[in-house]
Structure formats: C-alpha cells, structure tokens
Amino acid sequence: MTEKIKVAVSGACGKMGQAVIKAVLAEDDMVLVSAIDVANTGNDIGEIVENRPCGVLIEESLEKALTEKHIDAVVDFTNPELVFRHTKLILEKGSRPVVGTTGLRANELEELKNLSQQKGLGCLIAPNFAVGAVLMMMFAQKAAKYFGNAEIIELHHNGKKDAPSGTAIKTAELMTMQRDKFGEDNCPEIETLKGSRGGVTESNIHIHSVRIPGFIAHQEVICGSLGQALTIRHDSFDRISFMPGVILSIRYVMTHNDFIYGLDNIL
C-alpha cells in the first residue's frame, strides 16, 4: 500500500482553513497531521469543523509543527501579512507549500520560486483554486487579443484584507500577455472623486474592488471593442468550490518538484 500524504493546514480555523480540513479528512490518500492556528489552540479541529473529534489538536506555531512532525505538504490560508514568511518557512523546513493566501508581491513570488528550485521541492501558489475562475481567466486572456478595452470588477465579502484580489491581478497579468496597452482610445480623464476609476495596471486595465458582507468570491471581466462588449463572469457561492483545486494541488506538489503560480498551469 502506498503511504498516505501527511498534510498540515495553516489557518485551520479560518473560513477557508475549515473547508480544507473537511476536504482533507474525506480523502483516502491523505492524512491530517497538523492544524495550525492562533485561535482555539489545544482544541480538536474535528470538533470545530465537523462536531466530532479527529484526534488532531490545534497548535499555534507553524515552525514548531514543521520541526517536530513529519509533514509532506502544508496548505496555507492565513493572511497577506503572514503568507510570504510562512511559505518560505515551509520550504526551508523541507516541506511542500500549497498556498491559497493572496497578497504575495512579484518580488516575493520570485524569491519563493528561487527557493523552491534550490530545494527541489514542489510549491504551488494559486490566487484562485476554483476551476470556473481559472477558466474565466483563460477566456479573458483569449478575449484580450480581440478587445482593446478591458476593466475588471471583483466582489468579495467584507472580511477580505487585500485589494484588489489576487485573482484580479492574475487576470490582468494574463490579459497583458496578449496586449501591452488597453483603453488607448479613452479620452483624457478627470477624477472628481479620487479612486473612481479604480486601480490601474501598467497595461491600463482598471480594477474595481467591491466589499459586501455575504459575498464569497466573484469577478466580472468586461471587454470592449467597436460596437460590442463581452462580459465574462464567475461566482463562487460556497467555499467548497475551491476544494477540488486544493486537493489536486496537494497531490501535484507531491509528484512534481517545480514552482507553479496559478492553477491554470496544472489543469
């Protein structure tokens, strides 16, 4: 019998962390060996997530868990202030990161890529694990070849710390691979209310971030050209939508020693 993948979840008590715990517990080829969070330490994570114990107590320190236990892969859904330090630590300790936390900057991604290559350890970072969202990004990239105007509206719950979303940034990056500049025929603009036109990428894609309680993760890409507009929209109504992508990524990092940014690269 092949050995089960020993998985740790960092940010285990969070909205995404709890969904990941449930998903990992349901997989036959995985075993949950650690649940890390600064909340509810000492409690059984199974009690919190499924109202029944699973034998894994919540521990506070990722570093301690990585030092004391054999952990094959760590799934991180914490927050933008921690994600770079956590991912670096996971690689330094010889484990494989699967990172959903958003907010990593380009220079940090570069450093993590170098570290993962240097260590020869698989590392997968995805701003969006929902397959539908990945397809939305791919379709937007395709559309960018034919549409010279593009704006992105991303909508999330009001507990989201970073703006714009990692998905919006990644979408704009993919679209910019098809065209250097968007909206070249726009007239010169005057913002009478600062920020009205949203954040602007170097390629002149405007990104607008909406934060409303109750929303999960939603995005609309509006592409325009002469006499027509194409709107590509994706909605995550439930955090379960991200789980097949997370599970696929855990298996991926165990069998590949490369650095991946974006789920599109492994679909």
Ligand X SMILES: NC(=O)c1ccc[n+]([C@@H]2O[C@H](COP(=O)([O-])OP(=O)(O)OC[C@H]3O[C@@H](n4cnc5c(N)ncnc54)[C@H](O)[C@@H]3O)[C@@H](O)[C@H]2O)c1
Q: Reduce the secondary structure of the chain to three states and give it as a string.
A: CCCCEEEEEECCCCHHHHHHHHHHHCCCCEEEEEEECCCCCCCEHHHHHHCCCCCCEEECCHHHHHHHCCCCEEEECCCCCCHHHHHHHHHHCCCEEEECCCCCCHHHHHHHHHHHHHHCCCEEECCCCCHHHHHHHHHHHHHHCCCCEEEEEEEECCCCCCCCCHHHHHHHHHHHCCCCCCCCCCCCCCCCCCCCCCEECCCCCEEEEEECCCCCEEEEEEEEECCEEEEEEEEECCHHHHHHHHHHHHHHHHHCCCEEECHHHCC
d(CA 213, CA 148): 33
User: C-beta of 112: minimal distance to ligand X in Å?
Assistant: 15
- Each residue 212-251 as x (binds ligand X by CB under 6 A) or -, in order, gives -----x------------------------x---------
Determine the Cα–Cα distance for residues 136 and 142; give it in Å rounded to an integer: 10
Nearer to ligand X, 229 or 240 (CB): 240
Within 163-192, which residues bind ligand X (CB under 6 A)? Answer: none
Cβ of residue 195: shortest distance to ligand X, in angstroms?
21
Binding flag, residue 36, ligand X (CB under 6 A): yes
Q: Which amino acid is at 251?
A: R
**Do residues 18 and 9 lie in contact, with contact meaning Cβ atoms separated by under 8 Å?**
no
Nearer to ligand X, 149 or 220 (CB): 220
**Choice among 156, 208, 218, 234 that is catalytic:** 156
Catalytic site includes residue 206 = no
Catalytic residue (one of 15, 145, 157, 160): 160
Any contact of residue 160 with ligand X (CB under 6 A)?
yes
Q: Assess 74 for contact with ligand X (CB under 6 A).
A: no
Handedness of CA 211, 99, 252, 13 (dihedral sign): negative
Q: Is the Cβ of residue 72 or residue 76 nearer to ligand X in the bound state?
A: 76
The one among 5, 7, 8, 17 contacting ligand X by CB under 6 A = 17
77 near ligand X (CB under 6 A): yes
Binding of residue 34 to ligand X (CB under 6 A): no
Residue 41 contacts ligand X per CB under 6 A = no
Helix axes 83-92, 106-119, angle to 10 degrees: 10
Contact status: 16 vs ligand X (CB under 6 A) = yes
Task: By CB under 6 A, tell whether 43 contacts ligand X.
Answer: no
**Considering only residues 84-103, where is the footprint of ligand X by CB under 6 A?**
100-103
Piece of 34-42, 63-71, 88-96, 169-177 that binds ligand X (CB under 6 A): 34-42
Interface stretch with ligand X, choices 120-128, 136-144, 146-154, 254-262 (CB under 6 A): 120-128
For residue 156, indicate whether it is catalytic. Answer: yes
Q: What residues are labeled active site? A: 156, 160
Q: Which residues make up the interface to ligand X (CB under 6 A)? A: 10-11, 13-17, 36-39, 62, 77-80, 82, 100-103, 126-129, 159-160, 217, 242
